[in-house]
Amino acid sequence: MTDQREAPAGFAEFVAARSPSLLRAAWLLTGDAGQAEDLLQTALARVWPRWARVSAAGDPEAYVRRVLFTTYATWWRRRWRGEVPVADLPDRASATDVSDALLQRDAVAAALAGLSRGQRAVVVLRYVEDQTEAQTAAILGCSTGTVKSQASRALARLRAQLGPQLTVTEEVTR
């Protein structure tokens, strides 16, 4: 077992290199920056003691993603929807009008929040993380048929909620 005060070999480098991508996936799953950080930290903490074995297996990112998605799917904490304190009030004027992009991003986030955990995980993996059906099935521990059916149901629900006028761009998903 590794000393808990020192990072296992290669762990710090992996976290530094892959955290932005993993955090984006966590944010898309939770819809909240704070919860996304907590989710990623929990997943990395679960991987920490097994890092030597995980990194020796060849593809540590796939393992970490699976831990991230399964942790999200089984997370016991109830989502709190109350007020969130902020240091600065958000009513400052902007030089550019970003209201349309913000409205689209909010609509996408609300539509994603309306999906089941399984559907949301499949959508994020397939269409944001650009994983294949087989890779998505491997990460989630299910069959490719399940991935296909979950994706189909999720896309139908998203289309019904978002309508054809919404064009999802990379800016909307950030």
Question: 81-112 pLDDT, tens per residue?
Answer: 566 677 777 666 666 777 778 888 888 888 88
Give me the helix-helix angle, 144-162 and 133-140, nearest 10°: 100
66: Cα within 13 Å, side-chain hemisphere? 15
Residues 68 and 15 grouped into a single domain: yes
- Cα 153 to the chain's mean position, in Å? 19
Residue reference for tokens 């499949």: 122
Give the domain range for residue 60. 11-74
Task: Determine, yes or no, domain membership for 125.
Answer: yes
Q: Shortest CA distance to 106 belongs to which of 35, 165, 162?
A: 162
What's the pLDDT band for 21 if we cut at 50, 70, 90?
Answer: very high
Tally the domains of the chain.
2
Task: Determine, yes or no, domain membership for 84.
Answer: no
What is d(CA 49, CA 2) in angstroms, rounded to the nearest whole number?
Answer: 7
Share of the chain above pLDDT 90, in %: 40
Task: Quote the DSSP letter at residue 170.
Answer: T
Residues 172 and 101 sit within 8 Å (Cβ to Cβ) = yes
Per the confidence metrics, is the pTM higher than 0.85?
A: no
